[in-house]
Amino acid sequence: MKSNTQNEKIKAITEKTLVVGIDVGSETHFARAFNWRGYEFSQKPIAFSNTEEGFETFQTWMEGLKGKHGLNQVLPGMEPTGHYWFNLGNFLRANGMRPAHVNPHHVKKSKELDDNNPAKNDRKDPKVIAGLVNEGRYFYPYIPEGVYAEIRALSGLQVVAQNEKIRLKNRIARWFSIYFPNYKDVYGNVGAMSGLMVLKVAPLPEDIVKLGVDGVNRIWRDAKLRGVGIKRAQTLVTAAAHSIGSREAREAARVELRILLSDYEMQTERETELMSLLKEKMAEVPYVDKLLAIKGIGLKTVVGFVAEAGDITRFDNPKQLQKLAGYAIVKNDSGKHKGESHISYRGRKRLRYVLYEAAVSVVSHNPEFKSIYQYYLTRDKNPLKKMQAIIAVACKLIRIFYLILRTGVAYDATKLTGDIRRPVAA
């Protein structure tokens, strides 16, 4: 990634380069072609469909322009418009071209430079995109391969299953608020296994009362569930007997809860299956076991980090990872004005969330990280606020993860705390 500077990007575009700006759509793409100085070769935008035939038409068009103007390479640029660019990007790569991406925010801000008009259309956008590419304001997207592609795809499915579980828990909690509000006095967690087992057999409070203490306890005994017994069964039956929940639409309420519990169980099984597959794939990534040796860092954290960052060897230093996570520090200084700095929030949102959760976890469970967190809060010079300190810990985790995955060095708690330079009192 050392050649990823703007100067190097500009240098890569020579007199023999055909720069193509592409406005990506769900079904139809539009493209315009320019030389390295911004002179346009295309008389009008070419429209081609998101099909094999459309891609071949686009390829023929580019080859014609290359032959006519004596060019030998093509640099196609586009906005990363959701997933719509995937098929076109794969086609370009298969034909020896490396698609470049431009920031949609840059396209939006620079489209008024030519005509002082913020209008967006299929003719204007490809030109703006090509102009940004010519100025070196582009980047090459990282497309994971091999085990890293598998981990990213499986991790995405796991996150979907996890979010579905949260949504279903919220709907189940709503059901309890309407039909069985007293349930929360027995179970603080709506997903408690022993409670759900009873609700499958006796959904409504009146059904639980009818089942009785012995019936509830028998369900748990048959399932060989530990940690529950007569006392918990008595508490549940008593809560059901004094329930203030609605007694209307009872059959509909039973059906609704049965559907919710079935969906919740399915998503739970799906998440478990995906985590099992992810654990197998993670075993193929070098030095992952050394990350799991850090107290407070679990499998989900490491999976999320590897899924979002990909192959760590593509980074030259941890600052690039910090930037990818949106944790790069943005200063607000101008002349004598010294504003408050903040993080950029640019990059991969999921990676930023994973690192934040990891920082909260190590501060809670890891003594050395807790010590560092407290130091950030209480140091004499430039003490940090709580959120700032958590972000500082997250950035330290980035550096630790990078070093371990890159070199295979074992985590050293003494070195971690020793690297903090604390001022010595005179």
Span 329-350, pLDDT tens digits: 777 666 666 767 778 878 899 9
Pick among 3.30.420.40, 3.40.50.720, 3.40.50.2300, 3.30.70.260: CATH of 6-134:
3.30.420.40
Establish whether domains 6-134 and 149-280 are of one fold.
no
**What pLDDT is recorded for position 112?**
76
Question: What span, in angstroms and rounded, lies between the C-alpha atoms of 116 and 122?
Answer: 17
pLDDT at residue 6 in the model: 84
Ranking 156-160, 260-264, 283-287, 342-346 by mean pLDDT, the lowest is: 342-346
Residue 423: per-residue pLDDT: 57
Long-range contacts of range 346-353, CB-CB < 8 Å, 24 or more positions apart? 347/323, 348/308, 348/324, 350/159, 350/304, 350/307, 350/308, 351/304, 351/305, 351/308, 351/309, 351/324, 351/325, 351/326, 352/325, 352/326, 352/327, 353/304
Condensed to tens digits (0 to 9), the pLDDT of residues 36-54 reads 999 999 888 999 999 999 9
Q: Is pLDDT of 2 > 60? A: no
Q: Which two tokens stand for residue 233?
A: 């069964």
The tokens for 55 are 């891609």
Token pair 């370009």: residue: 92
Does the pLDDT at position 223 exceed 50?
A: yes
Closest CA to 350 of 306, 411, 320: 306
DSSP state at residue 217? H
The residue-averaged pLDDT of 370-374 equals: 93
Integer angstrom CA distances of residue 26 from 48, 83, 121, 262: 11, 9, 15, 35
Selection from 356, 345, 400, 390 nearest residue 370 by Cα: 390
Segments making up each domain of the chain, as ranges = 6-134, 149-280, 288-418
DSSP SS3 for 142: coil
Topology adopted by domain 149-280: Helix Hairpins (1.10.287)
**Rounded Cα–Cα distance for residues 172 and 169 (Å):** 5
Among 301, 401, 384, CA closest to 373: 384
Which whole number is the average pLDDT over 265-282?
Answer: 96
Q: Which helix (H) or strand (E) holds 71?
A: none
Q: What's the pLDDT at 416? A: 79
CB 377 within 8 A of CB 383: yes
